[in-house]
Every structure is written in C-alpha cells, then in structure tokens.
Structure 1
C-alpha cells in the first residue's frame, strides 16, 4: 500500500524540443528549484511535466521555460495541487527524466495516477 502526498504539478506542450542547450537550461532550472521534471524530446510534440512541493516554485519554472521561447509554447495544464503516489515521487536521481516517445511519457503519467489529467491536457480526451 503506497501513501500519497500533495505536489504541485504542471504540463507544458511545445511544437518540438530538440535544442540540447535549451534542454540543459531546463534541467538546471529544475535542479535549482528542487523539481522533478519529465521531458519528451527529440521531435514533435515536445512535452514537459514538472512536480514540486510549492506552487510558487512550479510557476517560476513555467515562466523560465516560457522565456526560452519554445515554438508554440502552451501551458496545457496550469500548476495545481494534486495527490501523487509517494512510491513514484522523486525516485530518480537528479529529478530529471528525458524520454524519446509519447507512449513512454504516457506510461509515466499513468504510474503517477495522472493518466486522465495528462490525456485531457494533451487534447486526447475532452474535459468534463
């Protein structure tokens, strides 16, 4: 039985994420703000998910990413408090995961209990 904790989460969608320099800056900003970030890079669409303990920190990170001027930047899901299973929270060192496929990204969201939230944010399902 795994417990849950409230974290602030957000989802960013862009046209693509290919610049290694920008991605290094995203990773550094995540580490400086103690956020766990998952990125789908290498092509279209570009997807970023972030989770952290405080809304202000997550909002600051979103503003930082927006300032990098990714093409078609959209904060698809604004930062909000959400219970996330503690068994998967912050389990990766560095707090940063880079994935190559949308399917793998979707699996990570399912593991966190965020499958429906993610599908709505990506436009794959209609919101209620």
Structure 2
C-alpha cells in the first residue's frame, strides 16, 4: 500500500483505483480529543483542495481538505458514534472517506512518508 501526505496533514492510502483519506497522527495530536466528525455524502465529488469534512475537538474545529480529486464511494460511518477512533488510530481505523480518484496524476504532488516526517520536524 502506498501512502501519500499533504502539508495540511491529510493522508491518502491507495487501494487499487481508489484511496482512503484521513488526517495524520500529527494532526490528531494537535487537535486533542476529537468529539465530532462531519463526513461528506457518498456520491459527492471533490476537486483537490475542496473542503471535504470537518473534525471538531475539545480545542478547535478544523476543515479537512480533499488531498486529491475524486468521487466519494464510502465514508467511515463508525466515526459518528466513535469519533475518538481518530485519536486512537488516525492513520488506520480513523479514516474519513474512500474516493475513486478522478485525477491520479495529482498524487505526484503529494509527499511520501519520509518527506512528510521531515516537514513535521520543521513545525
């Protein structure tokens, strides 16, 4: 599985011609305890950079941006009842949505894990 990252702290994990999207462990650690997540509707299409979801914590509410263009084919419905899953496994079971990529070439502009870790160290 190939994983890409954005400087806005989202991740994209390729699974064939689709991709899971969520926020990074760094992002959840900065937010604190997540108490609510607003996910997009299945069938919604996003362009790269569009506001795709909202995550609220005890500290703040933050927009989650689409790291790549795509069509939402699934959302992680269990986050409605268990938003803390994001704190426990931000880059695993805490995924937000699954997209069918409409512009796969956009992945080339994202960071790999090594580059993302180096970026976080500068913050």
TM-score by length of 2: 0.32
TM-score by length of 1: 0.31
The structure in which a higher percent of residues are strand is 2
Higher relative contact order, chain-length normalized (CA < 8 Å, sep 6+) = 1
